[in-house]
Amino acid sequence: MKNIGIIIGVGIVTALLTFSGCARVGYDFETKNVKSITVDETTQSDILNMFGKPWRTGLENGIVVWTYGRYTYRLIGETDTKDLVIKFTDDKKVKSYNFNTSIKEK
């Protein structure tokens, strides 16, 4: 009988954590400098100084791509996400960038 109570208690705690919890992927980054990025002028070094190390790096059709992102998913409540994707030229200058967020400005 005692074991049944423990099993039920663990089940209830697990259910509460599952249904009220959240999951976070990536890591936070400061967004105030996004407007300072200038295509064909801002360098990779400048980006590192503004935002730190990117969360992900990769290639798109041979073009170097850095991604800064933080994605928080909740089962209850609003999901908040933000990401900054930067593509670089061969001479390590910003070719293009895209910033998106679901976080409301304060």
Say what the pLDDT of residue 3 is. Answer: 63
Contacts with 90 (C-beta within 8 Å, 6 or more apart), sequence order: none
Contacts with 93 (C-beta within 8 Å, 6 or more apart), sequence order: 40, 41, 42, 43, 44
Structural domains of the chain, with CATH: 23-101 (3.30.1450)
In whole angstroms, give the CA distance from residue 50 to residue 76: 33
- φ/ψ of 61, rounded to 5, equals 55, 40
Say what the pLDDT of residue 48 is. Answer: 97
Nearest Cα to Cα of residue 98 among 71, 49, 87, 90: 87
Provide Rg for the chain, Cα atoms. Answer: 20
To the question of pTM greater than 0.85 for the whole model, the response is no
Q: What is the pLDDT of residues 56-85, one digit of tens each?
A: 999 999 999 999 999 888 777 777 889 999
Mean pLDDT of 19-45: 88
Q: What is the pLDDT of residues 33-63, one digit of tens each?
A: 999 999 999 999 999 999 999 999 999 999 9
